[in-house]
Structure 1
């Protein structure tokens, strides 16, 4: 079935293992339920019941972020050293996740629906949030067995920058009224990017060896003592992933021992932003009506590095006419 419309819509995809819901407000994952024999699906992706709830908060929950996910210092960059491009700042003087009207706030076109997939499309005009060129992008979600695949692509008629990701928050327990810092995390990265007070990367890269950023071997995000004390864990950093950019490979995994559930994330990108939340408030409620714990879920955002337009030593975010930006993510669930 093919549809081209701009009204707010919800699409449900389902197979024997997973029930997933998406909406075209931000080309967003609203719900990812794991089916248990004889029970209702357990939702592991933070979301709200109504599309309107997403516009009333700014946490990018489940959304496609663009044109540029993460931060750009002072909301500007040199376009191939020819001219300075000034973007729309929305986090102090910096740009975050595409600006004040990023792709998470847009109504995407539903271009195609099948029993196992949905395709969204969005056109972003020249000058949108300050970005040059007319950009056309698509997001395709597909269910296959116990995995969800997301393919993002984009083209532009002028030199520009593109860095897009999905911003889902995960809690494998299915309960968002408690901390998700009890999950075990593994990230395939030997280095990470230290940041300044504005979360802009500092010069250079740092080795994870001997630091609290070493997740090469799976370990709990917070210790039992930290969990008992209710400590909020302060990560919000980019990890420099092992393997070649452009190659789909496993980059991270989450494991929840009490339920024996595991989520494995694969991506074609060079970096992974790890953010165990810390900002949700009790007046925000999950789909079951319970108040959110301030650290109720884990964001794992594959992307290029933050502020990469201003850093020649980082993977390039530049896209030229005739070229196609492509980012593939796969979430595989066990348990």
Structure 2
């Protein structure tokens, strides 16, 4: 007997954008990036974005792979906050806390496809009042578009009919080697941030911000992620980005030293969550059919700071009726040098 589809009659659409350098695949389930192929100097292609072999694998083993996270990306302590004196109780899905919008966050939704051509695709979602505990009916659009030949943008917008909070991002995992059976910890990383947020054992930010100076979190100059990995206790931290929130500016660069492939990240947001995966398993496979290394990918998630609805000292996540939340993310790719003879 055939196994029932986990998508309950909403079969996802797979859509492809392409340029001379980039071929990117997207799925309407989670408005997610499922693959990004870079054309190598010899004409071959290498996929550098983690994806699973089958669409059915995403609901079963998602880990937010490539998806849009919301209504609130990252963590909210005790799955609650107060808005205009009213306690707001959220669905908890990571112990007592909420992670990436709750157990039924935007990564697990079927998004409508509003527009599509070979350079751009727009997904849309309506989140009803009370969804995972959040007030107000929210309307969200996500547009992925290829700019020039080497840049992919993600524009996320949202409106709501009641005061609420919002924090949306894309959760791609990158391994620029293209081999997800090996650790991505050998990549070189640079982040434009003088400060980061220390966290407690539940990965909730502690009071205050800390300087990266003389710590394992100093990526102001490019260095190998593995260099001080043990000292860090594992990277899953928010970096307080330099530059003005609301302005698109480059904030991070990731390089695979072996192939020379690189990714430059720009954002309009105030923070960047850097997460070196440590939870994947060889029991899972990449879309290429290779077993996943536990540290198969690196997530660089631009966003406002975690737990900001409970932290008045953090950049605000509040959204008023009549306002438009807007977050622009841009990835610029380079395929590496021509091979030497």
- Which TM bucket (shorter chain)? over 0.9
Q: Residue 55 of structure 1 aligns to a residue in which SS? A: helix
Tell me, which stretches of 5 or more residues in structure 2 are unaligned?
A: 1-8, 337-341
Q: Name the CA distance, whole Å, in 1 between partners of 2:232 and 2:52.
A: 23
CA offset at residue 168 of structure 1?
0.3
2:244 paired with 1:205: no
Contact preservation (8 Å) 1:66, 1:165: yes
Shift in Å, 1:261: 1.0
Q: Distance in 2 between matches of 1:76 and 1:57?
A: 26
- Of 46, 50, 56, which aligns to 2:50? 46
Distance 1:142 1:233, change over 3 A: farther
Q: Does 1:32 align with 2:30?
A: no
Distance 2:122 2:145 in 1: 9
- The answer to whether the Cα contact below 8 Å between 1:236 and 1:274 also exists between their aligned partners in 2 is yes
Deviations 1:35-76 (A, max 9, x none): 125543100000113221110014100000000000000000
Question: Which deviations, in whole Å up to 9, do the C-alpha atoms of 1:251-304 show, x marking residues without a partner?
Answer: 101011111111000000000000000000111100111100000111000000
1:219 aligns with 2:223: yes
Would you say 1:146 and 2:150 are equivalent positions? yes
| Structure 2 match to 1:108 | 111
The equivalent of 1:20 in structure 2 is 24
Q: Is the 8 A contact 1:64 1:167 kept in 2?
A: yes
Q: In angstroms, what is the RMSD of aligned CA positions?
A: 1.6
Q: Normalized against structure 1, the TM-score is what?
A: 0.95
Q: 1:189 touches 1:241 (CA, 8 Å); kept in 2? A: yes
CA–CA distance in 1 between the matches of 2:53 and 2:293? 17
Instruction: For 2:210 and 2:303, locate their aligned partners in 1 and report how far apart those are by CA, in whole Å.
Output: 18
Matched-pair contact (CA < 8 Å) for 2:216–2:229: no
**CA contact 2:53–2:289 (8 Å) conserved in 1:** no
CA distance in 2, matches of 1:138, 1:273: 22
**SS of residue paired to 1:222:** helix
Q: How does 1:184-195 map to 2 (within 5 A)?
A: 184-195=188-199
Which residue number in structure 2 is paired with residue 303 of structure 1?
A: 303
Count of matched residue pairs: 326
The equivalent of 1:165 in structure 2 is 169
Matches of 2:234 and 2:46, distance apart in 1:
28
Hey, which bits of structure 1, 4+ residues long, moved more than 3 A? Answer: 37-40
Other-structure match for 2:279: 279
Pairwise CA distance, 1:7: 3.8
Q: Offset of 1:233 from its aligned partner?
A: 6.3
